[in-house]
């Protein structure tokens, strides 16, 4: 049987690139749940906890609001039977991300046109 290594909060922060402060905040905000504690009371993060933090990082990086991530986390913690709700939440977020990408592409095209104009003027 494989024994999972446990990480301190500082180790988990280093492993994920998230600050200790952020990890504590996410726990208080209900995004991270059930982090084990050592007899001393210090948090002990497992590989599964680190994997969940990476999920949170991706959701935040794509602009998902904390409130929506909290809802998703609640659904995941509730277990099987709510997959349709999780799917709906993620599809809604995907639509928002795709709309943002379209807007950024429009801005990028403008910048490319300006670059082409200046190159033409200078070339």
Mean of pLDDT over the chain: 94
User: Residue 98's pLDDT band (boundaries 50, 70, 90)?
Assistant: very high
Could you please report the per-residue DSSP string of the chain? -PPPP-B-HHHHHHHHT--HHHHHHHHHTTSS---EE-TTS-EEB-HHHHHHHHHHHHHHHTT--HHHHHHHHHHHHH-TT-HHHHHHHHHHHHHHHHHHHHHHHHHHHHHHHHHHHHHHHH-
| Domains of the chain, each with CATH number or no CATH | 9-122 (1.10.1660.10)
Query: According to the model, what pLDDT value does residue 1 have?
Result: 39
pLDDT digits (tens, 9 = 90+) for 56-97: 999 999 999 999 999 999 999 999 999 999 999 999 999 999
């Amino acid at each position: 049987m494989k024994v999972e290594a446990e990480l301190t909060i500082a180790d988990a922060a280093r492993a994920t690139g998230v600050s200790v402060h952020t990890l504590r905040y996410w726990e208080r905000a209900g995004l991270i749940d059930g982090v084990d504690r050592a007899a001393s009371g210090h948090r002990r993060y497992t590989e599964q906890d680190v994997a969940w933090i990476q999920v949170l990082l991706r959701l935040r990086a794509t602009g998902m609001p904390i409130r929506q991530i909290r809802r998703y986390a609640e659904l995941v913690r509730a277990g099987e039977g709510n997959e349709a709700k999780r799917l709906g939440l993620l599809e809604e977020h995907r639509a928002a991300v795709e709309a943002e990408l379209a807007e950024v592409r429009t801005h990028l095209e403008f910048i490319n046109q300006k670059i082409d104009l200046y190159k033409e003027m200078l070339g």
